[in-house]
Chains A and B, each alone.
Chain A
Amino acid sequence: MKFSEQTEAKLERLLAGFPPDRKRAALVPMLLFIQDEVGAVTPEVVEEVCRRLQIAPLEVEEVLSYYSMLRRRPAGRYHLQICTNISCMLVGGAELFRHACRKLGIGNHEVSEDGLFSLEEVECIGACCWGPAMQVNYEFRHRMTPEEFDRLVEQLRRNASSQAPE
């Protein structure tokens, strides 16, 4: 498996940071960076990572199933992650999440039919002072309200239709 130039460059830099006999150390970010491009850690990705790091599939499986950001199936084009942990909860995070479910017609860890959106109720994302907070893929959105959320969704829909699908 070959990845885009950017991803390959990232992986190369990652591996260069460790002694040659410690390549395995790159595993966690490697999976995440590849997932960013492929959309998920597929069996092919696991195989490729095993080949590159010279480790066994079980070693990847142990790690893949441990970290909550790693996934086996692709998320939506826009992965909406809404924090409902204590600080966000105090200022309406849980209500925002429920609103998002209704708005998109999907539940937690589900992908909308058009593949555009997926929704995840996440634990603290480090935006406690600016809640309710969420992330669109890696981009933070602070002080969200249901109205703001609706505007965001419309905006993303417009973005998607104006851009050629990747």
Chain B
Amino acid sequence: MPEAVRLTIDGRTVEVEPGTLVIEAARRVGIRIPSFCYYEGLSLAGACRMCLVEVEKAPKLQTACTLVAAPGMVVRTDTPQVAEARRAMVEFLLTNHPLDCPVCDKGGECELQDMAFAYGAAESRYAEAKYHVPERAFSPVVYYDRPRCILCYRCVRVCEEGMGVGALGVINRGGRSEIAPNRGDRLECDECGACIDICPVGALTSGMYRYRTRPWEMQHVGTICAHCSDGCKTTLGVYHNDIIRGNNRDRSGLNGEFLCLKGRYAADFVDHPERLRSPLARRDGRLAPVSWAEALALAAERIRRAVERGGPIGIIGSNHTTNEENYYLQKLARQGLGTRNLDHHRTGDVPALMAALGGRPGGEATLAELYTARAVLVAGSDLAQQHPLLSWQIRADWRHHQAHLYVVTRGPVREDRYALRSLRVSPGEELAGVISLAEELKREPQLVVVFGDAIQGGDVARLVEFGDSLNIPVKYVCLVDYSNSRGAADMGLLPDLGPGYQPLAEPGLSLAEMLAAEDLEVLWVVGANPLKDGRRAPPGAFVLVQDLFLTETAQAADLVLPAASAYEKTGTVTNVCGQVQRLRPAVSRSGVKTDLEIFGLLAHRLGLDLGPATPEAVLSEILATTPGYDLPLDLLAAGVSLQTRPVAGAAASRRGEVRSAGDTLFTSGTLGRYADILSRVEEAPGGLYRG
């Protein structure tokens, strides 16, 4: 540990580690030095000049954001000269600023407003014409208003450094400088909107949110993104029961301020015109609306008939429903209905990893550890497309900690640009590629291995064996696709494993087997679309579907029950790193019920006593009974993300039953089809392995 640097700020002694900037040193002791261009985690600019401070023996004011604390340095932030400099800087910024705050989206949460309030003067002496150019749409989701721009370059830097995209630049010079998109008149990028969120003023605004409401009129509901498995917290802005925007400006959640297009904008599926609002029953060959009472009665009757006749029931669970729903569903299936035929679309071989790790502590990496790891190996995934938060974390690790990155993929990926080694392999050769890096990896002090579905079954055990052979601490992340894919496996929506990967005496049918079965009496599909590839439902089976939309599977159903979305319910989900987080309902929609409610109502009608079907009660049961989930409830309830504890898993899946859907930033399985915004940004490149 290098010796601390001791300096004085406003008469207070501060001790900081060498290399600390004065602006950060001041923050440690609660002295706030204003800044626009300084932004933690991004490269330094020194452009806005708001953070000028007095430094003893320096002839002029210094920028606290570029000044490294030095031993014995005496800094003052509270002098009349500093106050005057700040006032002057605000005045300069306002000279060409339109002051259209009453109609500006940023009004009320604008850093320039705050700065003018805190440090500015009541009036401006500027009496000249203001520079004006019209606003431009960089993309359907990103708008740029040059007159409002204060040229702090945060957007340019977050795009280049944070996202690794570099789609924004600065053109022209002097007072005519402006931010420009990479395709002349438009953006070709991840459309993540990070530039909008990071903009301190209303220069970059969101196509989804702009001119729809004022910040103070919204409720802000922090929940977990409904799309991929990374588990980003998104703070939904809700106005009159409508989701107006998503962001994460308070940097809460394990994603800090990161969000991709999906977390920020793709809540629009909630009100897609095709959203189901009423149960549908097949009458004369066609699906027609029926009441919930009729629908539940029909469902209960067909299930009861199957149970009584001993006809097989097959249940396909969801990659999106909550842990509580998944847990309750498997309990309903196994204890209530006595069926072992339970599965879900498996997108990564988590059971195999659990078995290979054998319950060893620290075997799985957290998202935070992806930012601190000394070395990371990515095998078989285009992370920037498929797991953008993981990609962000690893990129930050490289930028801030010079982490070594190794990539083994079948095509070019964004990570190649800063990887120490990038290997291109043929499909199926991923593990061999990883093993070929042994000599280099052995020299690393520690390693996190992130692997996709290319490594599954016995290969996962071989991967962990290889990791052990390196004689360094190795952690793993087994990639899965969707918001609660991990939870589906953890809660035992598997034919051969119960909750917590506990082996079952006799395995049931897998998803593929259920679809191929000829004697299935009931096929119950919850929030999944197994028939999307033109597959047929098992002949003769009564098909019951719970979903938000009339998917291919729902269209083939005999009874469709409209379900609530993740943004309309309470519960917990578990992300790709096994981190459990809480959902909070942002809006409610009439006509739909949560999957848990539906399960509870059906259990009731079937006369089953499975305990109360409320998220709270089921969660308590999970925490009490499920291996790995003995987590403190109070912390979970407070919104903390907690990684599940190591479990000694048992069985490994049969090869070929694990398959990632290969979604990109601009697709999100069946759900993504109903998030129009994902297809409206059509100019964006969406392919996998395109670098």
Chain A residues with a Cβ under 8 A of chain B: 56-59, 61-62, 65-66
B173 — which chain A residues lie within 8 A by C-beta? 65-66
Which range holds the interface residue count of chain B?
10 to 19
- Name which of A56, A57, A59, A61 has the most chain B CB atoms within 10 A of its CB: A61
- For residue B662, CB closer than 8 A to chain A, the reply is no
Q: A63 — nearest CB in chain B belongs to which residue?
A: B171
A-B residue pairs, 3 tightest by C-beta: A65-B171, A58-B182, A58-B169
B166 — which chain A residues lie within 8 A by C-beta? 56, 58
Inter-chain pairs besides A58-B181, A61-B180, 7 sampled, C-beta below 8 Å: A56-B182, A58-B167, A58-B169, A61-B169, A62-B169, A62-B180, A66-B172
- For residue B184, CB closer than 8 A to chain A, the reply is yes
B172 — which chain A residues lie within 8 A by C-beta? 65-66
- For residue B170, CB closer than 8 A to chain A, the reply is yes
Interface residue ranges of B356-383 to A (CB < 8 Å): none
B574 to chain A, nearest CB (A): 39
A56 — which chain B residues lie within 8 A by C-beta? 166, 182
A62 — which chain B residues lie within 8 A by C-beta? 169-171, 180
Bound form: Cα–Cα A62–B156 in Å:
12
Bound form: Cα–Cα A31–B173 in Å:
17
Interface residue ranges of B167-201 to A (CB < 8 Å): 167-173, 180-184
Bound form: Cα–Cα A81–B463 in Å:
70
A66 to chain B, nearest CB (A): 5
Q: A67 — nearest CB in chain B belongs to which residue?
A: B173
List 8 interface pairs A-B (beta carbons < 8 Å), by A numbering: A56-B166, A57-B184, A58-B167, A58-B169, A58-B181, A58-B182, A62-B170, A65-B172
B170 — which chain A residues lie within 8 A by C-beta? 62
- Name which of B166, B169, B180, B184 has the most chain A CB atoms within 10 A of its CB: B169
A65 — which chain B residues lie within 8 A by C-beta? 171-173
A66 — which chain B residues lie within 8 A by C-beta? 171-173
A125 to chain B, nearest CB (A): 18
Bound form: Cα–Cα A61–B185 in Å:
12
B167 — which chain A residues lie within 8 A by C-beta? 58
Bound form: Cα–Cα A61–B169 in Å:
9
A59 — which chain B residues lie within 8 A by C-beta? 169
A57 — which chain B residues lie within 8 A by C-beta? 182-184
Bound form: Cα–Cα A41–B183 in Å:
17
Interface residue ranges of B541-558 to A (CB < 8 Å): none
Interface residue ranges of B89-133 to A (CB < 8 Å): none
Bound form: Cα–Cα A49–B539 in Å:
63
A61 — which chain B residues lie within 8 A by C-beta? 169, 171, 180, 184
A11 to chain B, nearest CB (A): 24
Bound form: Cα–Cα A59–B169 in Å:
8
Bound form: Cα–Cα A58–B138 in Å:
14
B163 to chain A, nearest CB (A): 14
Bound form: Cα–Cα A59–B168 in Å:
10
B358 to chain A, nearest CB (A): 47
B158 to chain A, nearest CB (A): 16
- Name which of A56, A58, A59, A66 has the most chain B CB atoms within 10 A of its CB: A58
B168 — which chain A residues lie within 8 A by C-beta? 58
A58 — which chain B residues lie within 8 A by C-beta? 166-169, 180-182
Bound form: Cα–Cα A56–B184 in Å:
11
A112 to chain B, nearest CB (A): 26
B179 to chain A, nearest CB (A): 11
B491 to chain A, nearest CB (A): 46
B262 to chain A, nearest CB (A): 25
Q: B181 — nearest CB in chain A belongs to which residue?
A: A58
B183 — which chain A residues lie within 8 A by C-beta? 57
A109 to chain B, nearest CB (A): 14
Bound form: Cα–Cα A59–B183 in Å:
11
Bound form: Cα–Cα A78–B171 in Å:
28
Bound form: Cα–Cα A96–B184 in Å:
38
Bound form: Cα–Cα A150–B110 in Å:
57
